[in-house]
């Protein structure tokens, strides 16, 4: 027998104390303090030390019980058949499957030439273990696992879970206890947290914690509002039940009783089928609607399970084969930001490298300032990092027990008053969660989005300048701002992938055409936050020129119809940024021009107060171009004809709108008459519209 030294004795006691604290937080308080992977490592270390130094074994050690104790507010339930845990195979590779199969075959005394053992492969759900007691087919009690011997009566909450039948289907035995997992789907979890944030209620760290909290609520009305699900996977106490010969047969019988059984399971002969199952579920893991942290292998034949029996707290006939942990703990070194395509500044945690979800993670999203404040994450904290499937890693919460001192709270605007990419000012609206860079036309991070918006149909209408072309122009360093579009040549465009000389000429022609635009289109093309087409038209009508708009203060901006303080602030902040004004000056220098006049000149336009309806295909103008002409002259374009319509502009293949106009006696005009009206303020004396009317 080995004799443990002082250091080993002290380490064993430290591990026992730490594990007890974590178990209390996890099982009793439903407030985990560390990720499952960290707990597993501590538990495994303690097991190893106790096995190496058996003289240190103690009945009080966490290794001799499943963990936790029932809360005093819930009635205690003693399990007739203990709810014990399953051994975890720490080797996450295919070798872990082979190790399990070897142990089983050795324990059964099988020789290499004997047939393979049949196994059932299942998912290892990340939820709360539960025992459902049915007497003569009626659900009479539901109990949590607790410490494995004694759990808590949660029947009042479990009855609200619609997936769990209150009465079993078919011919039910006198007594059967169904063991399974209560869990929360990811979409239900996100919806629950969204509702909680909207009403300033508790926000949960993960679906498992949310499910456990719901099951163990004292008020069933609170629990009923939390969406829970259930899978059956095991058997407890039973009487009068004809037990199937296999575990897979038991699951089939559960399904016949009307109990939900997970579809993702496999019956495999030998380790090869289990290895394939492990790989297949690994590929599916990120797309499953619920969280799992591994798969479970069980010897399928019930008689062999009995023969294999148990060792300490674990069955010899089953093992949990985990995947790389999706949550880990590491140090938050710093908080930086990333500037997105729309100018949004997203805070990013810079982490000490940690292996989580199968990859080494050094960065994780913190979403926005509100989330940082809600989670109370501070630089220097130990934090829980989560990566599920292909989802971007995120910081879930700080480990407050490990916080050193009282580090200052993080203030994004204080640390980043200027955009780290372009140096423009960073602002955040009163009712907005996101901080943004104001250098929309100038900021390299926003370059692609700004160009696509600038070239849009309802902005400068540069046909042929789509996503792929913009990506190539920006990535190649050819275009850095909208100004560079008007400096492009055929050779630069023709060098792009899939851009021939003809396409290059067509794009240059579209760019050339866009040099002349309405003031409203130019204002909209600038991409000012919260300024849409209608607001751009209102601003153009009110100020008459871009210079007047640039010089306007908040009070003047709020004199514009339908422009409130939020929009006014966005406009003022945009033009307060010198970089944006510089781009506007350069556009003018490149020959881009737009109609301007004294304040209110558009409101006095020749079409002011008139309503137009466009129908059919016009000879030279697109529908958007015709609409812009009408609106630029102060008119309104409607989608339907009524007695209040002043003009219907009809082109080829005009349909029901033309017929309705004629029936109502509405004036019908052609494209050339529209142009004459806008340019001169009068219709030609001889026109097709008169004859049609």
Q: Which residues are catalytic?
A: 124
* 3-state secondary structure labels for all residues of 394-435: EEEEECHHHCCCCCCCCCHHHHCCECCCCCCEEECCCCCCCE
As a whole number of angstroms, the distance between CA 40 and CA 45 comes to 9
Q: Tokens 């290499």 sit at which residue?
A: 112
Q: Tokens 């273990």 sit at which residue?
A: 129
Contacts of 584 (CB under 8 A, 6+ apart): 441, 526, 546, 550
Smallest CA-to-CA distance from 252 within 235, 269, 237, 236 is with 235
As a whole number of angstroms, the distance between CA 107 and CA 36 comes to 30
Give the relative orientation of helices 94-108 and 271-284 as an angle to the nearest 10 degrees.
150
How distant, in Å, are the alpha carbons of 486, 656, 676, 681, 691 from that of 644? 42, 17, 22, 20, 21
Which tokens in the block code for residue 255? 């399904």
- Residue 246 phi, psi (nearest 5): -130, 160
As a whole number of angstroms, the distance between CA 693 and CA 684 comes to 15
Contacts of 103 (CB under 8 A, 6+ apart): 316
Instruction: Return the CA Rg of the chain.
Output: 35
Q: Do 610 and 632 form a contact (C-beta atoms < 8 A)?
A: no
Contacts of 17 (CB under 8 A, 6+ apart): none
Q: Do 158 and 174 form a contact (C-beta atoms < 8 A)?
A: no
**DSSP states of 115-168 as a string?**
PPPEEEEEEEESSEEEEEEEETTEEEEEEE-TTSSEEEB-HHHHTT-TTS-SB-
Smallest CA-to-CA distance from 439 within 350, 315, 339, 349 is with 339
- CA end-to-end span of the chain: 112
Which tokens in the block code for residue 404? 């050193």
CA atoms within 13 A on the CB side of 433: 11
As a whole number of angstroms, the distance between CA 14 and CA 18 comes to 6
Task: Please tell me what DSSP assigns to residue 446.
Answer: G
Smallest CA-to-CA distance from 56 within 46, 69, 66, 70 is with 46
Q: Do 537 and 520 form a contact (C-beta atoms < 8 A)?
A: yes
Beta strand 76-78 with 150-152: parallel, antiparallel or unpaired?
antiparallel
Q: Do 656 and 586 form a contact (C-beta atoms < 8 A)?
A: no
Task: Please tell me what DSSP assigns to residue 358.
Answer: T
Sheet holding 175-183, edge to edge: 138-144, 128-135, 175-183, 229-239
């Amino acid at each position: 027998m080995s004799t443990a030294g002082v250091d080993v004795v002290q380490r064993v006691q430290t591990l026992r104390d730490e594990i007890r604290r974590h178990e209390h937080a996890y099982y009793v308080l439903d407030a985990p303090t560390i990720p499952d992977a960290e707990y597993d490592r501590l538990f495994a270390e303690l097991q190893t030390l106790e096995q190496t130094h058996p003289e240190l074994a103690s009945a009080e050690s966490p290794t001799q019980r499943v963990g936790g104790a029932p809360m005093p507010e819930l009635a205690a339930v003693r399990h007739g058949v203990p709810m014990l845990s399953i051994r975890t195979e720490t080797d996450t590779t295919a070798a872990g499957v082979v190790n399990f199969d070897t142990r089983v075959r050795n324990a059964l005394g099988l020789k290499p030439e004997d047939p393979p053992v049949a196994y059932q492969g299942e998912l290892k759900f990340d939820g709360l273990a539960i025992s459902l007691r049915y007497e003569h087919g009626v659900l009479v009690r539901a109990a949590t696992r607790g410490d494995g011997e004694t759990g808590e009566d949660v029947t009042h909450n479990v009855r609200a879970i619609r997936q769990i039948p209150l009465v079993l289907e078919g011919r039910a035995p006198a007594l059967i206890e169904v063991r399974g997992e209560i869990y929360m789907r990811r979409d239900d979890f996100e919806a629950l947290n969204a509702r909680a944030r909207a009403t300033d209620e508790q926000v949960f760290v993960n679906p498992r914690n949310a499910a456990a909290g719901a099951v163990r609520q004292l008020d069933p009305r609170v629990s009923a509002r939390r969406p829970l699900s259930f899978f059956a996977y095991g058997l407890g106490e039973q009487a009068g039940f004809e037990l199937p010969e296999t575990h897979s047969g038991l699951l089939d019988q559960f399904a016949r009783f009307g109990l939900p059984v997970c579809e993702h399971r496999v019956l495999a002969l030998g380790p090869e089928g289990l290895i394939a199952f492990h790989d297949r579920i690994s590929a599916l893991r990120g797309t499953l609607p619920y969280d799992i942290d591994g798969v479970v292998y069980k010897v399928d034949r019930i008689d062999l399970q009995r023969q294999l029996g148990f060792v300490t707290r674990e069955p010899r006939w089953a093992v949990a084969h985990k995947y790389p942990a999706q949550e880990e703990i590491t140090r938050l070194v710093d908080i930086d930001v990333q500037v997105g395509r729309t100018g949004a500044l997203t805070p990013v945690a810079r982490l000490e490298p940690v292996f989580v979800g199968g990859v080494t993670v050094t960065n994780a999203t913190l979403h926005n300032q509100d989330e940082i404040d809600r989670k109370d994450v501070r630089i220097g904290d130990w934090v829980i990092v989560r990566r599920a499937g292909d989802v971007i890693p995120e910081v879930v919460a700080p480990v407050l027990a490990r916080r050193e001192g009282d580090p200052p709270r993080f203030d994004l605007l204080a640390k980043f008053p200027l955009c780290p990419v372009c140096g423009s000012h960073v602002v955040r609206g009163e009712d907005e969660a996101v901080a943004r860079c104001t250098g929309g036309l100038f900021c390299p991070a926003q370059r692609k989005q700004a160009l696509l918006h600038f070239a849009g149909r309802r902005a400068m209408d540069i046909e042929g300048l789509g996503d792929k072309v913009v990506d190539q122009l920006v990535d190649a360093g050819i275009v850095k701002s909208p100004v560079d579009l008007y400096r492009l040549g055929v050779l630069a465009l023709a060098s792009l992938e899939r851009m021939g000389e003809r396409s290059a000429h067509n794009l240059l022609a579209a760019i050339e055409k866009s040099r002349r635009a309405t003031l409203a289109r130019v204002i909209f093309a600038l991409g000012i936050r919260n300024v849409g087409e209608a607001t751009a038209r209102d601003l153009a009508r009110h100020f008459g020129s871009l210079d007047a708009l640039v010089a306007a203060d908040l009070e003047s901006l709020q004199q514009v119809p339908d422009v409130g303080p939020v929009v006014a602030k966005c406009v003022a902040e945009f033009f307060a940024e010198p970089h944006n004004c510089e781009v506007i000056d350069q556009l003018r220098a490149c020959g881009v021009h737009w109609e301007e006049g004294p304040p209110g000149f558009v409101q006095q336009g020749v079409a002011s107060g008139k309503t137009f309806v466009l129908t059919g295909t016009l000879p030279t103008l697109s529908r958007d171009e015709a609409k812009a002409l009408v609106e630029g002259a102060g008119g309104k374009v409607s989608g339907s004809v009524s007695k209040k319509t002043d003009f219907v502009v009809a082109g080829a293949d005009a349909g029901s709108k033309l017929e309705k106009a004629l029936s109502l006696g509405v004036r019908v005009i052609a494209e050339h008459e529209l142009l004459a009206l806008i340019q001169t303020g009068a219709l030609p004396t001889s026109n097709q519209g008169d004859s049609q009317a």
